[in-house]
Structure 1
Amino acid sequence: MTEVLPLNNSHLPLKLRLEDYLRLDEAGAFEEYRKTELIEGEIFFMNAQHRPHAVIKSRLHVRIAAALAALGHGWEAVVEGSIAIPPHNSPEPDIVVTSEPDGKGLIPLDSVKLIIEVSDATLTFDTKRKLAMYARNGVPEYWVVDVNARVIHQMWAPVDDAYAESRDIAFGERLTAATIPTLSVDTSAL
Structure 2
Amino acid sequence: MTLATYRWTVKNYHQAIDAGLFADEAVELLRGNLVVMSPEREPHAYYTRSIGQYLQRLLGQRALVSEAHPITLPNNSEPEPDVAIAQPLGREYLEHHPYPGNIFWLIECSQATLTKDLTEKKDLYAEAGIKEYWVIDLQHHQLIVFKDLQNGSYTTEKTLTAGIISPLSFPDLPVSVEKLLQ
Q: What TM-score does the superposition give when structure 1 sets the normalisation length?
A: 0.85
State the match for 1:113 in structure 2: 104
Corresponding residue for 2:73? 85
Structure number with bigger Rg: 1
| 2:124 partner amino acid | M
1:102-156 CA deviation, whole Å, 9 max, x = no partner? 2313222210010001101001111111111110111000001100111111011
1:90 Cα deviation (Å)? 0.3
1:125 to 111, 116, 131: 116
1:23-62 equivalences under 5 Å are: 23-33=15-25, 35-62=26-53
Q: Percent identity?
A: 22
Q: Cα RMSD between the aligned structures?
A: 1.9
1:100/1:107 contact within 8 Å kept? no
Aligned to 1:164: 155
Q: How does 1:91-106 map to 2 (within 5 A)?
A: 91-102=79-90, 103-104=93-94, 105-106=96-97
Q: Which runs of 5+ in 1 are unaligned?
A: 1-8
- Matched length: 177
Question: Using a 3 Å threshold, how does the CA distance of structure 1 residues 188 and 87 change in structure 2: closer, same or farther?
Answer: closer
Distance, in Å, in 2 between the alignment partners of 1:91 and 1:100 is: 19
Q: Helix, strand or coil: the match of 1:37?
A: strand
- The residue number in structure 2 matching 1:5 is none
The answer as to 2:173 corresponding to 1:186 is: no
Q: d(CA) in 1 for partners of 2:111 and 2:31?
A: 22
4+ runs deviating over 6 angstroms: none
- Of residues 166, 169, 172, the one that matches 1:176 is 166
Is residue 78–residue 101 contact of structure 1 (8 Å, CA) maintained in 2? no
**1:63 Cα offset (Å):** 1.5
Q: Answer yes or no: is the 8 Å Cα contact 2:7–2:32 preserved in 1.
A: yes
Aligned-partner Cα distance in 2 for 1:38–1:22: 10
Please say which of residues 36-45 and 94-103 is displaced more in the overlay. 94-103
87-96 vs 13-22, which moves further: 13-22
**Cα 1:169–1:101, aligned 2, differ >3 Å: closer, same or farther?**
farther
Pairwise CA distance, 1:61: 1.2
Question: Alpha carbons of 1:24 and 1:155: their partners in 2 closer, same or farther (altered >3 Å)?
Answer: same
SS in 1 for 2:81: coil
Q: Which runs of 5+ in 2 are unaligned?
A: none
- Aligned partner of 1:60: which letter? I
Aligned partners of 1:135 and 1:161: how far apart in 2? 5
State whether residues 36 and 46 of structure 1, in contact with CA within 8 Å, keep that contact through their aligned partners in structure 2. Answer: yes
